Amino acid sequence: MGSLIGLLLKKGVPKKISTTVIQGVALCTIYIGIAGLTKDSNIILIIISIVIGGFIGELIDIDNLLQKLGDKIGDKFKSKNAKISEGFVTASLLFCVGSMAIVGSLESGLEGNNKILFAKSMLDCITSIIFTSSLGIGVMLSSVSVLIYQGIITIAAFALKAILIQSVITNMTAVGSLLIIGLGFNLLDITKIKIANLLPAVFIPVFYQLFLNLMK
């Protein structure tokens, strides 16, 4: 719904306004990432998760796979506008790696509580209006990525209730929040971090807890 509204607004929004708005959203993205970091998180585990996750992500080259998928989508729409790919990749990452996506999906799988996911959907709606007005239909197509990502976490949470204790959730959220901060920097063109290649880092705390359980 947000993307449809954004498409309607797209023609009436001057480029300088959309650029400024995107920069504002980038600053909000960085704030959301910082807000997701807590003193209860395990700093050493977060560093290890980023290193191992980055190694795995580069081997798979998730960033390149997403870019190729975005380009194929652009070809399907017979558009030469690179923003379809950019919109798809950027929105997919923004909507997937945030703390609300992780914690909300975990609570849905563990407790059947969907309140966080419902709140997230409202925030995503507002964000997608802004992004679609600047980046186009690629943002709308990211809804498929959100469905798959949050669906997998929800199903996995239901199957791994014994492992997903509070400390694991806290550390997963902290890693996801760091990726959100990096995405904000990318939106401001300060950095060109391959956030997608760091996505596996979010799940390393789960394997760490599984290892601890096996050692007991």
pLDDT > 90 fraction of the chain, expressed in percent and rounded: 12
Choose among 125, 157, 155, 130: nearest CA to 143: 125
Residue 182: which of 66, 54, 45 has the closest Cα? 54
Q: What CA–CA distance (Å, rounded) separates 32 from 24?
A: 12
Residue 31 has pLDDT above 60, yes or no: yes
pLDDT, residue 79, reads 54
One-letter amino acid of 42 = N
Task: Tell me the per-residue pLDDT of 77-117, one tens digit each, with 9 for 90 and over.
Answer: 655 555 677 788 888 888 887 777 888 888 888 888 888 88
Answer whether residue 149 shows pLDDT above 70: yes
* Coil, helix or strand at residue 31: helix
pLDDT of residue 82: 55
Query: What digits encode the pLDDT tens for the residues 118-128?
Result: 888 888 888 88
- Number of helices and strands (H, E) in the chain? 10, 0
* Cα distance between residue 88 and residue 82, in whole Å: 10
pTM above 0.85, yes or no: no
Instruction: Give mean pLDDT, residues 34-62.
Output: 90
- For range 148-156, the mean pLDDT: 89
